[in-house]
Amino acid sequence: MPDIKSVPQEEADIRLPEGIEKIERFAVEVPQLTLPSGTAGKAQLPEGLFPMSVGCALAFSSERTDGTLLFYGLTDRGPTLPAPSVRDDAGNVRPGRYFLSPMFQPRIVRIEVTPGKARSLLPVALANAEAKPFSGLPARDDGAGKPFAILSLANEELSGGLRPIDPEGLAIDPDVAFWVVDRYGPALRQFSRQGVEREVLFPGAGLPGFLSGRPGSLRSLARLADGRLVTFDRNAFGLTRFLTVIAVDPKTQTSAAYLWPVEHGVWKRGTRPFIGDAAALGDGRFLVIEQGTARDGSRLIQLVLADLSGATDVSGMPPEELQRAKRTRPGVVKRRTVLNLADIGWTAKLAKGLALLPDEKTLAILSDNRYGAEIRVENPDAPLSEPEDYVLEKDGELTLAGTRPNAKFIVSRRSPQESRTDLFLVTFGQPVSEF
């Protein structure tokens, strides 16, 4: 387990960017997840524990009189890794994904921050309205076929979950407890403080109808002062120059969609960024973590100030009109990049939690450790190959470009730094709302 500490700014090896007064850095103490150990099939897993991933979202809860800060973090569907494609009885090949803990039940996790220490505690496991546990596995085959094969580490195809959920965004509603983005739905799910589902919004029933049949598209969640919930869709309408901001009023079950312009020339050609998390500021303004591969191939994570005022709802516009839309068209979301996280010493690959503290000057940023797991291929004949390059044949053997190699997949722990959950408290010299 990494040391739990706050690094005093005078000890940090990075100069404070202009406008920032203080940065506190923590390695969050997280629960350990027990995974099946030993060798199974062609996959091998080392014995021991893996760190829980609690950084898939972040929401501020309260501050005690002694200064203790209370947040809520979020797991996703559980630890997964790249896997070979799978050939079915008809000879067709589908991409695969290893699910390292098929019985994993996603959960909301409380995070407590005191001087010099941050720890997660009191996990709230998510269950449906009948108090039956949700599963991180995708839905069972409904006859239409799953888009990818769900594999155990024994290279056995799993049937999927009866009550699937893939959490990717969290917001606190003081009246009802929690709202969670579910990528599988796609859906917005409301939960009690005990983790029991109370309400669900689906495409056409609270969410825009154009999301129907588009699982895996929603990320992040923020609650605006007027009660609307804001989430992001990365692939709506098949656009290349925009992401889509979706604002939902859960009380009236109405929604609107707005175009989020992707900066030209910033990201690697042919790619677009994805949204890590968002934090509301008031008056339709919010901060967003935007991340991806930069034009030069480096990892880029940046903080963006966004404003919905003046943005045009495009929910009812013809797709062909949206395809022609330019980044400078009237009515797109106004946005401005305010900080590159590398400038404050951020080294984690993923930043997926963002929250504003009551002083309105301090932001909390949380990393996702991806359960500290990684996979590699041992194949002397193809040392640079990846699991996705292989096909799992019907007889259970692996093939690579039609040959049957002597290959083995090794699952291991990432480095201590990559397995750590980082929490930064960044205090600016002025209220964030005045940016």
Q: Assess if residue 303 is contained within a domain.
A: yes
Q: What is the pLDDT of residue 395?
A: 92
The per-residue pLDDT for range 186-231, each reduced to its tens digit, is: 999 999 999 999 999 999 999 999 898 777 789 999 999 999 999 9
Identify the burial level of 398 via C-beta atoms within 10 angstroms of its C-beta, where 0-12 means exposed, 13-18 middle and 19 or more buried.
Answer: buried
Q: What's 237's domain CATH number?
A: 2.120.10
Cα distance between residue 276 and residue 259, in whole Å:
17
pLDDT at 235 (0 to 100): 78
Residue 40's pLDDT is 42
Please, what sign has the CA dihedral across residues 223, 229, 235, 239? negative
At residue 47, the pLDDT reads: 56
Cβ 333 vs Cβ 307: under 8 Å: yes
- The structure's pTM equals 0.93
Whether residue 3 is contained in a domain is answered as: no
SS3 per-residue string spanning the chain: CCCCCECCHHHCCCCCCCCEEEEEEEECECCEEECCCEEECCEEECCCEEECCCECCEEEEEECCCCCEEEEEECCCCCEEEEEEEECCCCCEEEEEEECCCCCCCEEEEEEEECCEEEEEEEEECECCCCCECECCCECCCCCCCCCEEECCCCCECCCECCECCEEEEEEECCCEEEEEECCCCEEEEECCCCEEEEEEEECEEECHHHCCCCCCEEEEEECCCCCEEEEECCHHHCCCEEEEEEEECCCCEEEEEEEECCCCCECCCCCCEEEEEEEEECCEEEEEEEEEECCCCEEEEEEEEECCCCCCCCCCCHHHHHCCCCCCCCCCEEEEEEEHHHHCCCCCCEEEEEECCCCCEEEEEECCHHHEEEEEECCCCCCCCHHHCEECCCCCEEECCECCCCEEEEEECCHHHHCCEEEEEEECCCHHHC
> Which positions ≥6 away from 185 have C-beta within 8 Å?
200, 202, 203, 215, 218
Q: Which domain holds residue 30?
A: 9-434
216 within some domain: yes
Q: Which tokens is 141 given? A: 């085959």
- Answer yes or no: is 199 within a domain: yes
Asked whether residue 4 is domain-assigned, the answer is no
Residue 53 CB partners (closer than 8 Å, separation 6+)? 30, 75, 76, 79, 368, 369, 370, 371, 421
- Flag whether 196 is in a domain: yes
Question: Which portions of the chain are predicted below pLDDT 50?
Answer: 1-12, 38-41
User: Number of structural domains, the chain?
Assistant: 1
What is the C-alpha separation between 334 and 305, in angstroms, rounded? 8
Specify if 1 maps to a domain.
no
